[in-house]
Amino acid sequence: MVRLAPGIPIIDITHLVPPGDVRRGAAVLAQTVPYLPSGVHVAVVDPGVGTARRAVAVEAGDHVFVGPDNGLLSWAVRAVGGARRSHRLEARELWIHPVSHTFHGRDMFAPVAARLAGGLDLAEVGPAIPVDDLTSLPEPVSRMRDGYAEGEVLSADRFGNVQLSVRASQLSELGVNSGDTLAVDLARRTLTVPFRETFAAVSPGELVAYVDSAGFVAIAVNSGNAAQRLGLPPGAQVRLARFKDAFTR
């Protein structure tokens, strides 16, 4: 990218998305892009590389997203106002040759993104495709019930902190404040977890719920790994309530 677009700054966000975890990549991208300048964003979590899955460039707001059409881009595209136009990457003269069957990040996505950042019009990357035809990940469950919030596990980071699809504002609707205790229902068990502002507000090894940097409720273990301890994979259903208002079965 530096060779093809010299002088254009590159911000490297992360290489720590678990292999093949499209949901985690989508969450990181969607939660990062509001803090980034206008530009071209390359995202590659691509277990279908080399198959019939499409390679696309999508314009949304004042951003362009380049990557596989497997849902990875969809949450970020929605976060900045929705897709205005999209094109399939088929202009082979923009790629690096020979093209590896298993490394489209290097040979297709990066060079096309560099050329777009350098001023290439989006229409030059390949034929237009209807924005409604782009692959989208389902929106995470996040809703209010009578006395509790219902959501799911969005993702877990490398520390094992478990991000839920429940926002801080939803806990406020339930009257939950820092210092309270949450009842966390995990379908087969209900835990009581202190709701605090940061990890060290509890002793090492203890569970804590808090509001993370993206404004979502998360569960962690101070100096430990909550994802491993609780066995909560992405998509696992959860319910949150104030402990004194805890749901009954």
Q: In which residue ranges of the chain is pLDDT below 70? A: 245-249
CATH number of 142-245: 2.40.30.90
74 CB contacts (<8 Å, ≥6 apart)?
26, 134, 135, 136, 137
Q: pLDDT digit string (tens) for 199-243?
A: 999 999 999 999 999 999 999 999 999 999 999 888 899 999 998
Extents of the domains making up the chain: 22-133, 142-245
Q: What is the dihedral of CA 100, 104, 107, 111, to 10 degrees?
A: 170
The reply to whether 22-133 and 142-245 are identical in fold is: no
The structure tokens listed for 190 are 């209900």
pLDDT digit string, tens, across residues 182-192: 999 987 789 99
Pick the CATH number of 22-133 from 3.40.50.10790, 3.40.50.2300, 2.60.40.420, 3.40.50.720: 3.40.50.10790
> Within 13 A of 115's CA, how many CA atoms are on the CB side?
19
